[in-house]
Amino acid sequence: MSKIATSAAFILPATLAFAAPAGAELTDLHLPVIPRTAAEAERIERVIAPTTDFTKPEQFESNPAGAATVRARTTRDAFSQPSGNISFEKELDFKVGNGLFKKLWVSSPASTLASDGLGPLFNARSCQRCHLKDGRGHPPEGPDDSAVSMLVRISIPGGATPEAIADYIATQPDPSYGGQIQDFSIAGVQAEADIQITYTEEVIQLSGGETASLRTPSYDLTNLGYGPLHPDAMISARVAPQMIGLGLLDAIPAADILAKADPDDADGDGISGRAQIVMSQQYGVPMLGRFGLKAGKPSVWEQSAAAFSGDIGISTTLHPAGHGDCTETQSTCRAAPNGNTAVHDDAEIGDVGLELVSFYSSNLAVPARRDTGDPQVLRGKQMFYETGCISCHTPKHVTHRLDGQPEQSFQLIWPYTDLLLHDMGPGLADNRPEARANGQEWRTPPLWGIGLTEQVSGHTYFLHDGRARNLLEAVLWHGGEAEPHKQSVIDMPPADRAALIRFLESL
């Protein structure tokens, strides 16, 4: 079994009772950490330093997940393999977790206690429904598109502000619609709304006479089932991100991530990455946020529990309400039967099931890099580095040494992310804050596996809401802190721009 369920028994350091983002150590409570030696720390600093030699691939570059890397498949199952270093015994846990990830939940009461509790409001009947083939979701491609995996978060200003977290932006759920718009419901309960998107096109002039077209989305919620939204409601459209490498991202030391934060741009490079700090529901103390498009969750465990509750309406011990995201005004929804049972820890999926899903999610393997020695890929890598993209998309990390968790223990990984929040400018702003993230900030997404998106997911839609239809458009949407780097891409010779995209496709 995974260590995640047993980690709750760890003793919390007293120093974390008043932890704050400035100057305080945020311990990785969710991990069985074996501290690094001074010699290891010194060696890691040398290993993760960015290269300046673009004549050949770096050592181990073809294995972006270290020993957990797997062979790159040529099928849609490329993101669905277990960690390359997983044991035979734990592979069984992985497969059982996969079954729970794919399970179609049904409404209560049902003939089985193992699968009921859906909704009453929901966005999908299974985890797999949004993360199809463990890959990336996409916005609707037409009025009859049934394979869409987009959802809308919603909140209004106000609410409690944790004293332990500086710069926290207080928000609370919409009084009528909760924290998320659910566009499906069980029989007898009204769904909340439908999502409508319209796009406006803008042509961007590039060097060498080339052009690109960017589409700006506009969102409208129609068929509102519970009256108008609150006048101060803030909405944020999201598509499901790919699932690979989550356990390795979970295992990057918080101290390493915090060391790269520069909220006041003290070094004057124009990059002011900020750490997301959130209150852990599992431990009740501030922790570093890592998961979600604004890094709103501190661990795979908490991210999985939140997705069960918000997306499927399945309660857990972290979110025990059987009615899910139903608000007090949604009386029929709250009165509907639920699947909470003592067999499952007074929830609809118990800690054992949640642990297995978390273990599965933590061990979806990163495929090996392709064509690392190709001259165009190497040239594109040089453009990526010299343009300054690595200021946010940090190439390399070394994970914690972990006791009893060999799949993620002490691995040199290449996710191309700093896991920090960055101001991406008004063009990408959703104008909806989340904890310490303001309406223009997003977590730097990892780039590993991005070149296999079309193979796995059948499309090339990128960014938080899928507005970019290819990698070049995704680059050209960068603004804010990345504005000068985007302009460099616009101005660079077409051959170098093509090489840059070719490099991204090799990740």
Q: Is pLDDT larger for residue 3 or for residue 224?
A: 224
Work out the burial of residue 59: count CB atoms within 10 Å of its CB; fewer than 13 is exposed, 13-18 middle, 19 or more buried: exposed
Report in angstroms the alpha-carbon separations of 339 from 65, 79, 387: 38, 32, 53
- pLDDT more than 70, % of the chain: 94
Give the Cα separation of 302 and 203 in Å (integer).
Answer: 41
Q: What is the pLDDT of residue 144?
A: 62
What is the tens place of the pLDDT at every residue in 319-361? Answer: 999 999 999 999 999 999 999 999 999 999 999 999 999 999 9
Question: Is the per-residue pLDDT at 208 higher than 60?
Answer: yes
- Asked if residue 446 lies in contact with residue 415, where contact means CB atoms within 8 angstroms, the answer is yes
- pTM above the 0.75 mark? yes
What is the tens place of the pLDDT at every residue in 231-256? Answer: 999 999 999 999 999 999 999 999 99
Distance, CA of 354 to chain centre: 18
Angle in degrees, CA 484, 461, 131, rounded to 5? 125
| Phi, psi dihedrals of residue 121, rounded to the nearest 5° | -110, 145
Question: Is the per-residue pLDDT at 417 higher than 80?
Answer: yes
The mean pLDDT value of the chain amounts to: 93
Question: Is the per-residue pLDDT at 19 higher than 80?
Answer: no
Give the Cα separation of 35 and 215 in Å (integer).
Answer: 48
Report in angstroms the alpha-carbon separations of 314 from 97, 121, 153, 297: 16, 10, 17, 18
Q: Given the structure tokens 């924290």, which residue do they identify? A: 179
Average pLDDT over residues 406-432: 98
Query: Which residue type occupies 56?
Result: K
Tokens standing for 330?
A: 């949604």
Q: What is the pLDDT of residue 27?
A: 84
Query: Which residue type occupies 311?
Result: D
Q: What is the pLDDT of residue 111?
A: 87
Average pLDDT over residues 490-498: 98
- Asked if residue 361 lies in contact with residue 407, where contact means CB atoms within 8 angstroms, the answer is no
Which residue from 164, 160, 161 is spatially nearest to 26, judged by alpha carbons? 164
Give the Cα separation of 380 and 389 in Å (integer).
Answer: 11
Q: How confident is the model at residue 149 (pLDDT cuts 50, 70, 90)?
A: confident
What is the tens place of the pLDDT at every residue in 434-471? Answer: 999 999 999 999 999 999 999 999 999 999 999 999 99
- pLDDT more than 90, % of the chain: 92
Q: What is the pLDDT of residue 3?
A: 37
